[in-house]
């Protein structure tokens, strides 16, 4: 049993790993709010994530993303879905407040692209002809950061239901106030 009470769940992982779909499901089961970093960024910027990348550049996006993340990480009884790049910076996961259960949703580059193809245009980093090579490169580079999450759940061949059930099972084992069913 983890002694600290659970205040929030944080999902990290590459684009297409299912953070948003799983996060919504887990939040519904816990009776908590679900918040997606990208939605909060868009609300603050007043333009889409793609437009932020195009008009202001990635560096501006990353600074805005971290500011929004710090605000959201202070919330209680929330399930948070980070953007795929947020965790990939020194100190990010080490710096999350106590009471945060973090999960790395794992996915391969080909599977991530397959899932992301339905949302073409919303992911500026993959809007390029060599998207597969770029996804492979980004995942390899980010994996050491993603590994800092408390738990990892492989999503490769699992449905959103299965991955959500795995997250809830882990939470129920670790936190006495959470029930899996
Ligand atoms: C990004 C992932 C996106 C979004 C932005 C950058 C990344 O979020 O934040 O396009 O660097 O991996 P999702 O992982 O929710 O698609």
pLDDT tens readout for residues 41-54:
999 999 999 999 99
- CA 4 remoteness from chain centre: 22
- What residue ranges do the domains of the chain occupy? 8-174
Task: Check pocket membership of 88 for ligand 1, CB cut-off 6 A.
Answer: no
pLDDT value of position 120: 61
pLDDT value of position 1: 52
pLDDT value of position 119: 65
The pick from 36, 68, 114, 125 for probing ligand 1's pocket by mutation, whose C-beta has the most ligand atoms within 8 angstroms, reads 125
pLDDT digits (tens, 9 = 90+) for 30-42: 999 999 999 999 9
Collapsing DSSP to helix, strand or coil, 100 comes out as: strand
DSSP lists the bridge partners of residue 106 as 154
Stretch 17-27: mean pLDDT: 98
The two three-digit tokens of residue 19, written as one number = 């953070």
What top-level class would CATH report for the domain 8-174?
A: alpha beta
pLDDT digits (tens, 9 = 90+) for 147-166: 999 999 999 999 999 999 99
User: Please, which pLDDT band fits residue 180 given cuts at 50, 70 and 90?
Assistant: low
pLDDT digits (tens, 9 = 90+) for 99-145: 999 999 999 999 999 998 766 678 889 889 999 999 999 999 999 99
The two three-digit tokens of residue 156, written as one number = 């490769």
Q: Which atom of ligand 1 is nearest to the CA of 125?
A: 10
HSE-up of residue 44 (Cα within 13 Å, Cβ side): 19
């Amino acid at each position: 049993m983890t002694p600290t009470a659970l205040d929030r769940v944080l999902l990290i992982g590459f684009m297409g790993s299912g953070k948003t779909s799983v996060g919504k499901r887990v939040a519904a089961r816990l009776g908590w709010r679900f918040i997606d970093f990208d939605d909060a960024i868009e609300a603050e910027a007043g333009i889409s994530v793609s437009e932020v990348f195009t008009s202001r550049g990635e560096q501006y996006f990353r600074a805005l993303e971290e500011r929004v993340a710090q605000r959201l990480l202070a919330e209680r009884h929330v399930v948070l879905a980070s953007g795929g790049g947020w965790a990939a910076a020194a100190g990010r996961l080490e710096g999350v407040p106590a009471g945060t259960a973090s999960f790395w949703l794992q996915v391969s580059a080909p599977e991530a692209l397959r899932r992301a193809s339905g949302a073409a245009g919303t992911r500026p980093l993959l809007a390029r002809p060599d998207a597969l090579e770029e996804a492979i490169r980004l995942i390899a580079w980010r994996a050491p950061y993603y590994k800092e999450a408390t738990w990892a759940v492989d999503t490769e061949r699992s449905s959103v239901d299965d991955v959500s059930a795995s997250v809830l099972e882990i939470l129920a084992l670790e936190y006495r106030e959470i029930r899996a069913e």
